[in-house]
Structure 1
Amino acid sequence: MPFRFSIPLLSAMLSTFCSFVAFRRATWDSTTILPSPPFALETPLMPLPSPIHNKNNTQPVTLIRYRQSGMPYFLREAMSQGNMLCRDVAEQQNKTRDTLPQPPSSPIQYSLQLECQKLFYQNSWGTGNVLQALYGLRLAARVLGNIEVRIRCKDAARTKSDLVVPWMAGTFVSRTGMETPSLPFLNETCLPFSNAPVHYLMDEIRYELRRMAIALVGVPYPTHPAADFVFVPEREQEMQVPMPETPLLPNIELDDVAIHFRCGDIVELQPHHAYGYARFSFVANYISSEARSIGIVTQPFQGQQQRRMDGTEHTRCPILIGAFQQYLQDRFPNATVQIRNSSNETVALSYARFIMANQSLAAGISTFVYFPFMATFGTGYLQKPLYVEESFEERVNSQFIEYSDLMNSVDMFRLWKETNGREQITKWFTNEES
């Protein structure tokens, strides 16, 4: 029977919560407490299954909490050292942070309290990397058991039309004693987040991102696959952001084909050796001849929706995107080719475009597309992520492709500085693949 909060109990819980003391590190708190209170009033109270929220449970709950100030540390460590939940739980068990934890014998609540707009604009990691870290956190909790994960965007009501993270935030209960699908070994789960096998959570990922896309733009037309999306009450109770009664961004013009072209930071400000670009012809070869609209999704050249790290002066990106648009228009004369990067285009809308398109393609390697391409209602074409097993391709609407003859971001950045660098770069992109 689910636990129901009474007013006296809720008051006592809130009082206990306010008495927490900081523990060991300014960026995270840990202490032994009574069963913890819910989020602020903007998040509905939700009964949680045993063992954490059971009136017969007298075990204390250990709280591990990160506030916004701790997120740079959280993401940096998750990127280079390993899954932070694994590391924090190991330390709670008097182990070193570099050893594997044991399944906890007492319940743990692992809480992230985020200012998601700051996380997006000021963080050096992009949306794809942040999602990888947060889903990796949830996967580790699933594997260990007896851990409740709470991810909350304090500014969710204000940023839900702009950002992706509010749509995967919520309360995710311990799975101890509950039937779960096959899971990876703990040592795989605790890897740094670029290698953590979060595809084991793909059912949740697809549900949450498809749900977000429908909430933002609605069902494009009656026969679109999104019309068959089924909302699951148990999952709806987990999510922080409720489904709106009407689309948040109505009357958005969607495309048959959505193509991601990463510009911004690695073109204008600072190159990155891990990213590269394909020739225009390579991308075009995957586009259906039946396509009637093609959208190039990239960072805004102007406006407030771009990350601080992308800069404000864009001179190179318009050249590349303009050449790409002209190439595609010549190659597909019966289609309309649009650039989708106005100042009103948000990162959440970009994800929705990929999820709703018949085809989603990336014009090179980028972690930004991993999650929406694997959650798409259409077909996504992308390079296989490091953490995904070969057999996983059969479980998603994606085709894993190998990019050939890439221009590395570092090489492109160097060419821009040469006397005729612009011409060399444009010629390379527009030439047919060798």
Structure 2
Amino acid sequence: MIKVVGIRFRNAGKIYYFDPLDYDLDPAMHVIVETARGIEMGTVMIAPKEVEDDKVIQPLKPVIRVATDEDEKVVEKNREKEKEAFKICKEKIQKHNLEMKLVEAEYTFDNNKLLFYFTADGRIDFRELVKDLAAVFRTRIELRQIGVRDETKIMGGIGICGRELCCKSYLTDFVPVSIKMAKEQNLSLNPTKISGVCGRLMCCLKNEQETYEYLNSRLPVVGDTVQTDDGFQGEVNSVSVLRQLVKVLIDNGDEKELREYHVEQLSFRPRRRKDVKLTAEEMKELKALEDDQNEVEEKDNNGGSRGNRPNNHRNQDRPQRENRRDYKRADRRDENRSQSENRSQNDNHAQNDNRVHNDNRSQSENRSQGDNRSQSDNRRESHYQNRNRKKNNRRDFEGREKRREQSKNHDAE
């Protein structure tokens, strides 16, 4: 077991683990900690407690101190400087004619780094912009391209429900949301009604998905035949998922009557619900609302890797699919290089064997033809051949060692 304290650096941001040392920390207290970005001030969200060792990534960085009044003033001063930095960066973007939207400027607590968050449709070459900003602010400049969901999380706003956006108030991670969820919940597939401020499908569709899956599992499917508790048999005309009501079309012989029953008043054979399917027109119209897998997302929209994160949060620092492919390609290159070295070694051995065989055959032919060369000449020739063979073997060995060393350096990089 190891003692940790949970600290958050942004509203609705992720919680990171730090070593509380001997400090008496309570929730809502401000503390100064060392992160990968430098010295920063965070808020205690989880009081010091003991957790399993395997839930913490070592080494665990310690809390430097409890924030003082001077530290609070430094943060307020940084907020004022960020406003000025935002204006200057915006002017520089217009000067360089870059198609990017600046979202936020952020100073680290120790002023060693100035971060700018922006959105853009594609990749932006901002090298000249960084040079200009570095000349103005005289500090380390970092530009981070984020997605539209992260932009909305930073900017905040009011949803169609009239409340503050979920991503701004409490959501720490973005989860995939699909159009099938909207159809499963019997919502009108109108883009203006099922999309949020960010232009993507509303996150609350995912929040309610499990509830709808459970409620739908208790209802018959439209078109099923059901038996009512008052002795009638009819066909399901429609269902109300949240109220758990079913409208049944009953045939009384001369006329058909539509009656409404609670699901517990009906008897029917449960069957596995079919997967929700979308038509081609619906997919074409609503595809833009789903998350684009190729969209550039900030690795950590709450400020980067600051410390250890609890395991109940999704780890966004793991290599994405493109990186895994790169690793596989690197592995294949290493394997091909190894195979090439093996073939080279085999070829060298074969050449040496052929030379030895040819030498022996030449000596045999010379003897069979009655070569009159003296034994001293033969010994001298054999000596030169052995020396050349050793040189070739040494050259082959050095080549293999050099390629092996290059391979190790490549893997280390």
Which structure has more strand as a fraction of its residues?
2
Which structure is larger by alpha-carbon Rg, 1 or 2?
A: 2
TM-score, normalised to structure 2's length? 0.22
TM-score, normalised to structure 1's length? 0.22
